[in-house]
A and B are shown apart, each in its own frame.
Chain A
């Protein structure tokens, strides 16, 4: 307790800063309340109030898990792994040229090719793989292929974006050194750029593979094969004790893939 000398007391912010801050917060709160009202217009609160009872009901049905169901899950698990791995492979193969076309220092044309490559990246990135799967199931029919292509399409943007940022950050001196030996364009990429981005490339690919394992576990919900297909059928028959087993398998898969990807990235980077 300091009895202030006589005039000024130290304050955290000036009055003007204070006012501006309050205004900012006020608008944020107002907007949030407005959105909240708009969102909950059609909410039936009786259902919400009923939720704890529903939760305990579902919880009661989920336990104990039906462990026997595990034996039917090995094939879907293998399918899920394949969707993720083959999808990542397709995505990476397409992403490499896109990344080179999008990177400012390797693109053949800044004004024509680069925007197209960036558009591909943005389109692929902003559409979730579940939506890609939804589309592909409608187009080429349900099954693993739709899942693989969906994962592949979603991965292009992610891998290409991170890879082109890595390409833009390379050491230009090495490129100049290789160019000075009379190397052609392809040789410059091969000997000066690739060795510099290779660790980043493997890191990005494994990281994306890890994300893809997560995503491929649920693609079956829209009919694209894998564990999600079993999840969908268990949910629609209200077999909650099977749902528990599937959740546990998904959780275990995700943990293992995260561990693998962390190990590989540690080794590579």
Chain B
């Protein structure tokens, strides 16, 4: 046994992040102070929570034994609204965001157009769907039309931004080649850029379809149509078995849309 080499120093593993000791201490103590302050400022009525546990248990039971039938009429209307809103808003979003996306690509658009399109994108991205929905419901009245406009507006920011980034990443050799053949701007877009970005655009549209369905099930809470309104009513009436049924349907549709869209994306790309 050669244990003579044992030195006073043992190996200490080096930190992966925050190499400097001082910063580590500042950050750790800062977080601890913040946590204490934050947790103290949260007032919890533990009695109310305790009372709620029984209701939570009933909800879990409702989720496990969902009741599809008694509110089926309402659920059906909500689902149809959600699904139609999803598709139409995605299509409209794609139609609008293609020109905006081209305008926001630095290699295709002149500077003023670029700035204009980028500001539209920023505007659309900075507010959440729910906030846009509140405003649009106030303007257009309750119902899926306001929801359609909301989702379209939100899709524009998302799709145009990613499309513009994609166009900027295009292989410039192909663009130069088409341009050298004497093509006009429009022909350059059609023959050099479009073939390169089309698979990505289809992929993005399908991804947005997926997101739009998720959102369409939420914006009903502020009155913009869709299955969210039905869910809101069911929870307000404490009908947990109907609420459970709606949630299961939402999860199932999200799963189907997600898997089929990722399948199609793989097939396209």
Contacts and interface: CB of A to CB of B under 8 A. Distances in A.
Interface of A: 12, 28, 31-32, 35-36, 38-40, 42-44, 47-48, 51, 54-55, 58, 78-79, 81-82, 85-86, 122-123, 125-128, 130-131, 134-135, 138-141, 143-145, 148, 191, 195, 198-199, 202, 214-215, 217-218, 221-222, 231, 235, 247, 250-251, 254-255, 268
A106 B91 CA distance: 41
A123 B144 CA distance: 26
A81 B42 CA distance: 11
Interface residues of B, number: 61
Nearest to B248: A123
Nearest to A49: B140
Contacts, number: 144
B221 interface: yes
B59 A78 contact: no
Contacts of B170: none
A39 B128 CA distance: 23
- Interface SS, A side: helix
Contacts of B215: 128
A43 B84 contact: no
Contacts of B143: 42-44
Contacts of B52: 139-141
B221 A48 contact: no
A148 B38 CA distance: 12
A254 B128 CA distance: 10
Interface of B: 13, 16-17, 34, 38-39, 41-45, 48-49, 51-53, 55-56, 59, 80-81, 83-85, 87-88, 91, 126-128, 130-131, 134-135, 138-141, 143-145, 148, 191, 214-215, 217-218, 221-222, 228, 231-232, 235-236, 238, 243, 247, 250-251, 254-255
Contacts of B39: 86
Contacts of A40: 144-145
